[in-house]
Structure formats: C-alpha cells, structure tokens
Amino acid sequence: MYVLQKILAQSALGSYSPWVRYLVFALFLSIVLILVGMLVILLLHGHQMNISFGY
C-alpha cells in the first residue's frame, strides 16, 4: 500500500485530496477489471461466437 501511495503522491493527482485520488484509482481499477472479465469471457466462449466484419 505504501508503494501505491508513493506513486499517487508523485503523479499528477498528488495535489488533490486523498478521496479524489482513490476515486480516480477505483475508476481505473474498475475499467481494468471489466476489460479482464470481457477477455476471460471471450476466451472461454469465443469459439461459439459467429463474428463477422463488414456491412
């Protein structure tokens, strides 16, 4: 946790209050977790999908 606080303190968010920094970090973490979840679903069920590109 100390490393995370040190990175946030030296970033562009360092001048903001701690709750804003953690809110931004939570938003970033939720986006990353959604993307990882979508990747897992795609890897597990991708062979069943019919994906076509074009019009």
Residue 50 inside a domain? The answer is no
Q: Per the domain annotation, does 17 fall within a domain?
A: yes
List, for residues 32-54, the tens digit of each pLDDT value.
999 999 999 989 988 888 878 87
Mean pLDDT of 24-34: 94
pLDDT band at 2 (very low <50, low <70, confident <90, very high): confident
The torsion angle over the Cα atoms of residues 41, 44, 50 and 51, rounded to 10 degrees, is 50
Other CB atoms within a 10 A radius of the CB of residue 21 amount to: 18
Give the pLDDT score at 30: 97
- Determine, yes or no, domain membership for 21: yes
What is the count of structural domains for the chain? 1
* Cα atoms in the Cβ-side hemisphere of radius 13 Å centred on 14: 9
36-52: b (≥16 Cβ within 10 Å) or e: eeeeeeeeeeeeeeeee
